Structure 1
Amino acid sequence: MNVNFEKLGNVSGEITVTLEEKDYADKVKKQLKEIGKKHAEPGFRPGHVPAGLIAKKYGTAVKYDVVNKEVADAVFNYIKENNIQVLGQPVPESDNKFDIANADFTFKFKVGIAPEIDTHVNKDMHVPYYTIEVSEEMVNEQIEGLRQRFGRQVPGEETEPNAVIKGSLTELNEDGSVKEEGVFVENGILAPIHFKNDDQKKLFEAKHPGDSVVFNPAVACDSSEVELSSMLNIDKEDVENHKGDFRFDIKEIIVLKPAELDQEFFDNAVGKDKAHNEEEFRAALKELIALNLENDSNYRFTIDAKDVVTKAVGELELPVEILKDFLIRQGDGITAENVDEEFVKMRPQLEWDLIRDKVAAQCEVNVEEEDVLNEARGVVARQLAQFGPNALTDQIIDKYAQEVLKESKNREMLFQNALNRKVFEAIKENVSLDNKEVSVEEFQKLFVPAEA
């Protein structure tokens, strides 16, 4: 067997595989022999079928399979051994002639080759990095939000926007009188904050135990069958018959009392023993806010870094026609009729992937198993954050992270996330950062598209 590679241009080449009968004959004989051991033919038991009969019946198909495998292995081994950076997959030349009756074969494959890339990632490259200022207003807003979150429900004397109201529901006639044999719910519960109609919400403002409110549940729930059946304690099929006014007689009002600034609150909000007084609490909370905002800053950096590096590299030379041919052969809805349009959509991401991989090689970025596991840990931690800091134990996070990685799709996605993160970290370390401190409002404006 002989394999040759000829470079046809900066980003394309041709691999030629020449296969002689001696390269595959023994493998054909071996496979035919295995078939003879297992297959029976009329008048012959398995293992006793004449070799000539087996060869006559199965020889052509076996030869076809063996030759194809030998050629495919030769191409991919050559690419691997010679470290050719192929884009897509080798594409068979259209003029390949595969006459199975021949003894010797020659096959040619077009290959697209990754272009040479100068990333320009060095200290001469400048990328902006925005640090978001943590204002006292932000700290105060966060404290109030946490006090609400960790507050407790207590009886109240007057309704508030987030109050839960207990009482009885009585269905009324159009003239306001009690409807005979109408719906009556003795122990009803309402949360006006969830009403879909603002006018209906206002009817419950500044009310007290003992007050009565006439409202329309159907309007309040926007005629949702599920919500109405739950509120009125009736079957969904019966909702249409009860869309008039009801009187709600208030028996009890439950309001949310914000948490006190005590040790229990400090532990719940920022972690156990992280703060022991209000001053320490504000400082710890400010650090947490800054840490969260750092994630936003780093996200913005990925946008700016990608933009700066891409512009510095310029448009890459790509083996366009070879890639289009490969895409058509792959299928996935891409045909000769739409491949031009689809390739235009794919090109920016393809170019960035090539640049990213070059930066990774240049900066010796390697993704280890621990990196992938850390990505999974991050996903789990964000999902569990709603349960408070005490839910985020290392043992719990690791347990669920391992579960996440059992799915191959999850693992591949998290590997790519880890690679992207480490590449941008490498860019951050190797370029010059133009540090800028901005307010939240100024930072948000960075994401507003510039006017044409």
Structure 2
Amino acid sequence: MEITLDKHSANQASIKIKLTEADYQPKVDAKLKDYARKANIRGFRPGKAPISMVKNMYGTSVLVEEINGILGDSLNKYLKEQTFRVLGDPLPVENVEEKIDWKNQKDFDFEYKIGFIENFELPLDKKIKATKYAIKVDDKLVNETIENLKSQYGNSTNPETSEEGDNVYGDLKAAEGDFTKTLSLPLSKLSKKLAKKFIGLGKDAVVEFDAKDVKKGEWDEAFDFSEDEMQFANGAFTFTIKNINRTEEAKMDQEFFDKIFGPDQVKSEEEFVAKVKDTLQSNYDKESKVFTEEELKKVLVEKASLDLPEDFLKEWLLKANEGKVTQEDVDKEFPIYARQLIWSLVSNELARANEIKAEHEDVIAKTKEMIREQFAASGLGSQMEDSMDMFVDNYLKGEEGQNYMNMLTSVQNDKVLSFVQEKIDMKEKEISIDQFKELLEK
């Protein structure tokens, strides 16, 4: 057997494998003899058919099977011995196997395309700079949150006459054409000028307005127009009021406190305000952490400066998902895939170089944390704790064990990012909620 490597560029190459009869024939002969011992062929007692007949019947399929096995084993072994890191899987060069004469050929030549990156190092020191973001919850956000909670948990009424901030339920109709839509229209989401047309009216009142009176964003936010419905957002409209819905703000009393945080968790308005602020800060601390880590990944990926074999990877993704994705899909999603792949390479290299390992116990702990958060969000909470081990086991066995591997990767990433932050220059920066939103939009 002869294996040769031909590098076409810094990240793509071809591998040629030449097989002679001596490489495969002993295995083929052994397999055919085994077939002969077990074959049940009409006209012969079991195991007594002539080897020539067995060879004629099964020889080609056994030859193909054995050669494919030799190719797979040899290629994997050869690639493991290289200093570079193979990306994706080797791709057979098209049309090579189609030209093979399996019945008469003795020597065989095969060729594969591979994509790779050379081994790299990423030393960690204070020359690498990144930012640790801390979102500060201010009184403005606390007050806005409390006002929203008071509205959300307030009492609903159906007054006779509409006022500012009400929801008016009714039928929207275009003056020209057949377009109609029944909806609940929140006046708080309209401009003051347009909302004024709906105030001071009762049931069966008809409001007339023009599409030009509706500001950008109000069609979807207030009138709940879909993309398909946007084609009708022009010309004159009428809105016939069928009902008026008003929410009276909840009072800051014990009943309200208990609805938000549970029975007797807070017992005064001061405690309630403090609890809301602590809860908001805890939630934004988690968002700060996630954002900081995503920005840190960008810094590390840029520092590693890896050049991926883009053409090869696109071809491999298309063939690996044959029938499930198109070339257009691959081209569109490739930037996301490339970022994830580079981060995976960087994370694995940092874990290898610094002996960072994700242990089974870490996977269990992280899965429990995830499930607890899901239970808490659904209001189930601590009553599920007794069955936690069962939930964890079922989740980690899901998707044929892929959930476990995903969680293992997540644990490793957590450990790598934590380790990195200790080694590089991390400057803490306190930002407001508005500043955080601006960063997210960039």
TM-score, length basis structure 1: 0.65
279 and 246 in structure 1: CA distance in 2 versus 1, 3 angstrom threshold: closer
SS of structure 1 residue aligned to 2:272? helix
Q: State the one-letter code of the partner of 1:126.
A: K
- CA distance, structure 1, for counterparts of residue 262 and residue 288 of structure 2: 24
Q: Which AA in structure 2 matches 1:141? A: E
CA deviations over 1:388-410 (Å, ceiling 9, x no partner): xx434472895777459623597
Residues 192 and 68 from structure 1, CA distance in 2 versus in 1: closer, same or farther, beyond 3 angstroms?
A: closer
Structure 2 unaligned regions, length at least 5 = 171-181, 211-222, 224-236
Partners of 1:305 and 1:276 in 2: CA distance:
42
> Aligned residue for 2:59?
59
- Cα distance, 1:346–1:261 mapped onto 2, change above 3 Å: closer
For the structure 1 residues 304 and 152, does the alpha-carbon distance in structure 2 shift closer, same or farther, using more than 3 Å as the test? Answer: same
Provide the residue aligned with 2:177 in structure 1.
Answer: none
Deviation at 1:60, TM superposition (A): 1.8
Matched, 1:72 2:63: no
Tell which structure's C-alpha radius of gyration is larger: 1
- Give the alignment partner of residue 425 of structure 2, picking from 432, 435, 441: 432
Distance 1:436 1:271, change over 3 A: farther
Of 286, 298, 304, the match for 2:289: 298
The answer on 1:132 being equivalent to 2:135 is: yes
Over the residues paired in the alignment, what is the CA RMSD in angstroms? 5.2
State the one-letter code of the partner of 1:25: P
Amino acid across the alignment from 1:117: F
Question: How far, CA to CA, are the matches of 2:2 and 2:78 in structure 1?
Answer: 7
State the match for 2:26 in structure 1: 25
Deviation, structure 1 residue 53: 1.0
**1:15-59 deviation line (CA, Å, top 9, x unaligned):** 757566475534553356447745544x45765543321211221
Shift, 1:263, TM fit: 4.0
For residues 271 and 104 of structure 1, what CA distance do their matches in structure 2 show? 78
207, 214, 221: which one pairs with 2:205? 214
Cα offset, 1:434, TM superposition: 0.7
Aligned pairs for 1:36-185 (under 5 A) are: 37=38, 40-41=41-42, 43-44=43-44, 47-80=47-80, 85-92=85-92, 100=102, 101=104, 111-153=114-156, 159=162
Whether the 8 Å CA contact 1:90–1:110 is kept in 2: the answer is yes
CA distance in 2, matches of 1:134, 1:343: 37
Matched, 1:362 2:353: yes
Change (3 A) 1:45 1:193: farther
1:361-382: CA deviations, max 9, x gaps?
3344444566666776677677
Are 2:396 and 1:395 equivalent residues in the alignment? Answer: no
3-state SS in 2 of match to 1:261: coil
For the Cα contact (< 8 Å) 1:148–1:258, is it kept in 2? yes
CA contact (8 A) 1:3 1:78 kept: no
Equivalent position amino acid for 1:292 in 2:
N
Unmatched 5+ residue regions in structure 1? Answer: 170-188, 220-226, 228-242
Q: Is the contact made by 2:36 and 2:51 (CA closer than 8 Å) also made in structure 1?
A: no
Give TM-score, length-normalised by structure 2.
0.66
Q: 1:289 and 1:244, CA in 2 relative to 1: closer, same or farther beyond 3 A? A: closer
Residues of 1 paired with 2:366 and 2:251: CA distance? 36
How many angstroms does 1:347 deviate by?
A: 5.2
SS in 1 for 2:119: coil
1:297 maps to a residue whose letter is S
Which residue of structure 2 lines up, in the alignment, with residue 441 of structure 1? Answer: 434
Alpha-carbon distance change, 290 to 203 in structure 1, aligned in 2, over 3 angstroms:
same
Q: Which one is further off, 269-278 or 398-407?
A: 398-407
Query: Quick check: 1:17–1:74 contact (8 Å CA) kept in 2?
Result: no
Counterpart in 1 of 2:399? 407
